[in-house]
Amino acid sequence: MKKKRPRASWGDRILRSASGLTAVLVVGIMIWLGWEMFVSSRQSLHQFGWAFLGGRVWDPVHRIFGALPFIYGTLVTSIVALVIAGPIGLGVAIFLSEMAPATVRSVVGFLVELLAAIPSVVLGLWGIFVLAPFLGKVVEPWLGRRLGFIPLFHGAPVGVDLLNGGLILAIMILPTIASISREVMTAVPTVQREAALALGATKWEMIRIGVLAYAKSGIIGSVILGLGRALGETMAVTMVIGNMPNISPSLFSTAYSMAAVIANEFTEATYGLYLSALMEVGLILFAITLLLNIFARLLVWSVARGPKGGHLV
Amino acid sequence: MIGRKGKVLTAIVTGILAVSITGCGTAAPNSAQASGQKANSGPVSLTEAGSTFVQPLLTRQVAKYQEENPNVKISVQGGGSGFGIAQLQKQLLDFGASDAFMSDADLAKAQGGTILELPIALGSVTISYNVPGLPQHIKISPDTLADIYLGKISNWNDPKLAKDNPGVKFPNLAIVPVHRAEGSGTTSIFTHYLASVSPEWASKVGKGISVNWPNPTGKVIGEKGNPGVAGAVKNTTGAIGYIELAYALENNIPYAYMHNKAGKWVLPSLEGAAADAAAFTIPEDMRVNIVNAPGDAAYPISGFSWALVYQKQTDKAKGEALVNFLKWDFTKGQSLAPSLQYVPLPDNLTKREIDMLKTITYNGQPLLK
Amino acid sequence: MYTKRNLLNALMMGVFSLAAVIAVVPLFAVLGYVLKNGLTSLNLAFFTELPGMMGVGGGMANAIIGTLIVVALASVMGIPIGILAAIYLSEYDRRSWFSTLVRFTSDVLTGIPSIIVGIVVYAAIVVRTKHFSAFSGGVALAVIMIPSVIRATEEMLRLVPHTIREAGDALGIPKWRTILSIVLPTAAKGILTGALLAVARISGETAPLLFTALGNLYYAHSLNEPIATLPLNIYFYAISPYDQWHKQAWAGALVLVFIVIVLNVVARLAFRTRMGKN
């Protein structure tokens, strides 16, 4: 608390209320997004109830709508992305925060950030013309020959499928995971490392005991933030996933994601229930990403909380 | 730490703020001006969206029209027939295009009153494929086609395909059926055809601008627009898809002979689609499906594309530009059709359409002079 | 025992270094193709001509300008709002429940899928104003950029030493003047960095423009008309069958990536010189 000001001038009142208003606006935007999604999906919520989540059929002709295939496609591509980008992103973060000399750190750090800056539509373009043929002609036939007995790698190789979607997402979320877990690791007090080293730990032991154990929840948070980004990505996924509501164990199958079905069908829906069902898909996506983000931010916060009241990384 | 060169940056930040304030200021007058109740001497911009079936032809017609009328700019956006219908219902477009006519229920939801549906093009849907080693035109029977899209035939080496194509060596290759991911008039034409030749398709899947596609093989791909389907067929080995003829021709994508109702193998052609249209009487409201027409020359998968226009226009300049363009399109504009293998609309039809254009009004006054 | 630990240590160090190498592979793979295919497809017409007839060619002049307009529009709305909100959080209300809520909401907002913003703006603006428009596209992008501007700005404002504000107090300068003419300018470089990064991020956004900006074959004459943008054009051209359009999609990707990378590099250079003094 500072000493009392003489009196608030007009300028102060204006700046204070104008800036306060924008702060309210931020909360307002969030409420607005949620409210609009909720109101627009009421018809579908009312018609299908919870069964919407488990419905496997998406049939605009017969007015039957179920979101399960989209939830499935979204989850599978995101999990593929996490399985690939999680360990690599973590490795990059450790490399950058614990190992790399300053020059290497700034160069690699910058390159990873550049990867984050590539627009998703450009990744989609690359996915169609470079990754899809490569997967369809090289990777998938090989996987099919070696591991075809696992349902995951069953079926004819095409290259436009869950695997392609997952790989593109992995590229997209790798920088998210790497940069946030790096920030979390950097926030670990040096004492932690020194203590481990003083006990005669090797560098890896120091990282494991001193850094990773300490930053665990923050790292999990970074991975979840990556997951959140993967769930909501639209363009790159719709360009390579095949856009087909489908629940199949094989990564070589075409599928659909929640964001992609909205992108493709939202402006086509000619009757209320159809539009409402699409809005409900959006509402589910909104709710999932909202909860994941809240959870993840709290986790990250617990480790890398800045100066009091600081941002949650 | 404070950085004494910060003064320059003060300027930048205040600059950003200043620009933003003045920017907001200028945005408003601009938008007021745009709603355009101006005299018809100034430039007019029209936004069309919907059918991608007609898009190759329409973009050429618009470009040609603009040479003659530099003041009228018609932006053709595609997006799919469902897009055209749904957004016109909400009055977000100046006119729409669809290759599936609007149902009574769709028409009832139009917020701007009566919608006229005016045939703007007549064309064929090809069954295109991408299979290395196959000739430019294989034969695909109606049953086989339905079975492929039902997922019952999943490999190109299926005996049913071989039976219709003696001498052609089919590879052992998975079939990747490609369909439209969004509401599509081309899908409507295609599913109307399949429903007319396959009772199983009619009962299991049905017909419409978007349907619940069977996918037992897990390989079926959905893509946006005729361009998207054509692109996927072109990029994907083993793919088969239904696209408007112009897309197949312009991109050298092989397409199949179809078996028509009279029992003849036919390729899509001007004569075929013309024969289809001639086989049906076109009703007062112009709403007609012409798939699986009788006659030796008929090509079984063809259809009209309709311009969707509100009968009561809300902007004089735009309304005038619109009816004038459509009149030109129905008459002179049709001369561009054959080069892309669309059938020029028959004269008796365009005469009726021009009569319909005359009923389009602004403030109760007809717009077509 | 000792050697085993050392071996494990060496192994793990190798694994982490490998991860760093693997992480940059996709960057070069993507940029390499964009450069290769983009450069061979790029020509003067691409920058000067309108798209014209389907599959034929022309250029993306209107889409390049359209992207600049929509992004500028978003910046004009998003940057001031973001900076103001950050001023509130940092200067007026650091630790109340409300500021925590705002901060938290802003961070969570970063994670909301951009397509959601697109459909909400469509419902709220496009449907109400009865047309697709550059304006609605700008609003959607502004909503997306606000949280990142807030965060960057607040972090920078917090770096400004408290003594500066106290000095202002002591001299009897009103708080608003201290903020606007002392605190803000001190943090200006960092704020600029944050703003540029936010601009870079929205420049490539595609999904929210699908239902708002729509697209246009010509130059838009007003903010109330549909407008062409690079990302949407790249999308539609990429999925098409036309070789000519594929070329244009690569050329568009090159231009877009160039814009985004330049913004990133400029932003980081500005920041580096500032932090270099620490």
Give the Cα separation of A95 and B311 in Å (integer): 67
More confident site: A302 or B29: A302
Selected residue of B77, B176, B180, B219 to mutate for chain A interface (largest A Cβ count, 10 A): B219
Which residue of chain B has the CA closest to C275? B1
Give the Cα separation of B129 and B181 in Å (integer): 18
Question: Does residue A197 register a pLDDT over 60?
Answer: yes
* C245 assigned to some structural domain: yes
CATH label of the domain that carries residue C247: 1.10.3720.10
Residue A62 confidence class, pLDDT cut points 50, 70, 90: confident
Nearest beta carbon to residue B92 from set C126, C184, C236: C126
Selected residue of C164, C240, C274 to mutate for chain B interface (largest B Cβ count, 10 A): C240
Average pLDDT, chain C: 93
Q: SS3 sequence, chain C?
A: CHHHHHHHHHHHHHHHHHHHHHHHHHHHHHHHHHHHHHHHHCCHHHHHCCCCCCCCCCCCHHHHHHHHHHHHHHHHHHHHHHHHHHHHHHHHCCCCHHHHHHHHHHHHHHCCCHHHHHHHHHHHHHHHHCCCCHHHHHHHHHHHHHHHHHHHHHHHHHHCCHHHHHHHHHCCCCHHHHHHHHHHHHCHHHHHHHHHHHHHHHHCCCHHHHCCCCCCCCCCCCCCCCCCCHHHHHHHHHHCCCHHHHHHHHHHHHHHHHHHHHHHHHHHHHHHHHHCCC
Selected residue of A163, A268, A273 to mutate for chain B interface (largest B Cβ count, 10 A): A268
* C249 assigned to some structural domain: yes
Residue A304 confidence class, pLDDT cut points 50, 70, 90: low
What's the complex ipTM? 0.94
Give the Cα separation of A240 and B167 in Å (integer): 36
Cβ burial of B207 (10 Å; 0-12, 13-18, 19+) is buried
Expressed as residue numbers, the domain containing C224 is 58-277
Q: Please tell me the predicted confidence (pLDDT) of residue B248.
A: 97
Q: For residue C183, what are its two tokens?
A: 């605190």
Q: What average pLDDT does range B7-13 have in this prediction?
A: 42
Give the Cα separation of B88 and B159 in Å (integer): 46
- Residues B309-366 pLDDT 10s: 999 999 999 999 999 999 999 999 999 999 999 999 999 999 999 999 999 999 999 9
Query: Chain C 91-110, CB below 8 Å of chain A: which residues?
Result: 91-95, 98-110
- Residues B239-285 pLDDT 10s: 999 999 999 999 999 999 999 999 999 999 999 999 999 999 999 99
Give the Cα separation of B342 and B321 in Å (integer): 24
CA A144 to chain centre: 29
Residue A28 confidence class, pLDDT cut points 50, 70, 90: very high
* C51 assigned to some structural domain: no
DSSP H or E segment with residue B74? strand B72-79
* C42 assigned to some structural domain: no
Phi, psi of A159 (to 5 degrees): 100, -15
Which residue of chain A has the CA closest to B173? A156
Q: Do residue C31 and residue A118 have CB atoms under 8 angstroms apart?
A: yes
Q: What average pLDDT does range B173-198 have in this prediction?
A: 96
Q: Do residue C119 and residue A266 have CB atoms under 8 angstroms apart?
A: yes
Domains with residue ranges and CATH for chain A: 18-304 (1.10.3720.10)
Question: Does residue A162 register a pLDDT over 70?
Answer: yes
Question: Does residue A21 register a pLDDT over 90?
Answer: yes
Q: What average pLDDT does range B278-299 have in this prediction?
A: 93
DSSP H or E segment with residue B178? strand B176-180
Residues sharing a CB contact under 8 Å with residue C32, sequence separation 6 or more, in sequence order: none
Q: Which residues pair with B240 in a beta bridge?
A: B129, B177
Q: Please tell me the predicted confidence (pLDDT) of residue B291.
A: 94
Q: Is B203 touching A (CB cutoff 8 A)? A: no
Residue A8 confidence class, pLDDT cut points 50, 70, 90: low
- Residues B70-123 pLDDT 10s: 999 999 999 999 999 999 999 999 999 999 999 999 999 999 999 999 999 999
Residues of B in contact with A165 (CB under 8 A): none
Residues of C in contact with B78 (CB under 8 A): 236
Give the Cα separation of B260 and B232 in Å (integer): 27
pTM for the model stands at 0.92
Give the Cα separation of B310 and B164 in Å (integer): 47
Q: Please tell me the predicted confidence (pLDDT) of residue A167.
A: 98
Residues of A in contact with B222 (CB under 8 A): 242-244, 254, 256, 264
Residue C277 confidence class, pLDDT cut points 50, 70, 90: very low
Q: Is C112 touching A (CB cutoff 8 A)? A: yes
- Residues A219-253 pLDDT 10s: 999 999 999 999 999 999 999 999 999 999 999 99
Phi, psi of A11 (to 5 degrees): -55, -40
Query: Chain A 100-159, CB below 8 Å of chain C: which residues?
Result: 100, 108, 110-115, 117-126, 128-130
Q: Please tell me the predicted confidence (pLDDT) of residue B42.
A: 78
Average pLDDT, chain A: 91
Phi, psi of B79 (to 5 degrees): 105, -15
- Residues A92-145 pLDDT 10s: 999 999 999 999 999 999 999 999 999 999 999 999 999 999 999 999 999 999
Question: Does residue C1 register a pLDDT over 80?
Answer: no
Q: Do residue C126 and residue B59 have CB atoms under 8 angstroms apart?
A: no
Q: Please tell me the predicted confidence (pLDDT) of residue B29.
A: 37
Q: Are B183 and B81 in contact, with CB atoms under 8 Å apart?
A: yes
Q: Give how many domains chain C has, as a whole number.
A: 1
Q: Please tell me the predicted confidence (pLDDT) of residue C269.
A: 85
